[in-house]
Structure 1
């Protein structure tokens, strides 16, 4: 399937779990579609890019290791994503990556995720956290930054400072995740 054909196919993706899972499995069954999906995702001003993000998130939820060959491209360009409906799934993928990297289960991601990838994920997560975006990317970013803070000792103090500064002005969902992070950090 060409990138143009995939782009047209993404018109049929909606918010339903069933549709997103169907297309995620399509990516897993034909890995040549993954870089094409990334190409569409990074057409950041196009509303169809969010649909590419949705199916990529579901693909990662099913098999995170499928993103490994594309970590360079994903981490290089994810900071460009700015549509609300695309930021959430990209931030969720970052959280998946961090959880796999720091998890107890064996994962090929632990060897594939290089410091440069980590730094770009950290940068994007701080951007989502401090910029005016929806609560979901902020919440996913908190968890991701908390995990990477285990290896980067400057992250936790910065994370705590931002969370404390924004706590009173943010939503209940933000506050709930921030309290969870404070508890883990014993703040």
Structure 2
């Protein structure tokens, strides 16, 4: 059964103002949030990536809403295949890790941290666009401040792949490598 909110996802576009419009609908109607999370991971639905676009914008303002759904979110991010969904998922992971370690607002379990770490490394080494890789580098940098094995691995991957990537990748790679040293 297709819900009204699910039908609305048809009209979500990549424009920021449009994504914010639908995020505002969720922010104004918090009861839609569990449905939004569910729709993000319905990979057979052509609008799953659009749901992720909306979720990213919701998380900028109400990241704490994700706390009750962390088990589901973290255990399913590894199953994402569509780059249009991976990019916002990687950004949300960065927000979560930053909030957990830097702001002490979100409580991530060791399992959540492990799943985010695994997915971030996968996105970094797989052949996908630069934005998820950049978010993953930053996420792994923060994680590496708390897990001593991550920075050496991250440094090796970034250094090995450096010459094969775009200027945008190289800029973030330099930023992260500078912080590691």
TM-score range, shorter chain: over 0.9
Verify the 8 A CA contact 1:3 1:36 in the aligned structure 2. Answer: no
Query: 1:134-174: per-residue Cα shift (whole Å, max 9, x none)?
Result: 10000000000000111111100000000011001111111
For structure 2, the residue ranges without an aligned partner over 5 or more in a row are none
Aligned twin of 2:6? 7
User: Is 2:39 the partner of 1:23?
Assistant: no
Aligned twin of 1:163? 158
RMSD of Structure 2 on Structure 1 (CA): 1.4
Q: Which of 144, 153, 156 is the equivalent residue of 1:149? A: 144
3-state SS of paired residue (2:30) = coil
For structure 1, the residue ranges without an aligned partner over 5 or more in a row are none
Mapping for residues 1-187 of structure 1, pairs under 5 Å: 4-103=3-102, 105=103, 107=105, 109=106, 112-186=107-181
In structure 2, C-alpha distance between the alignment counterparts of 1:26 and 1:4, rounded to whole Å: 14
Aligned length: 181
The TM-score normalised by the length of structure 1 is 0.92
Query: 1:51-74: per-residue Cα shift (whole Å, max 9, x none)?
Result: 000000000011211111111110
Q: 1:31 offset after TM fit, Å?
A: 2.5
Moved more, 34-43 or 143-152: 34-43
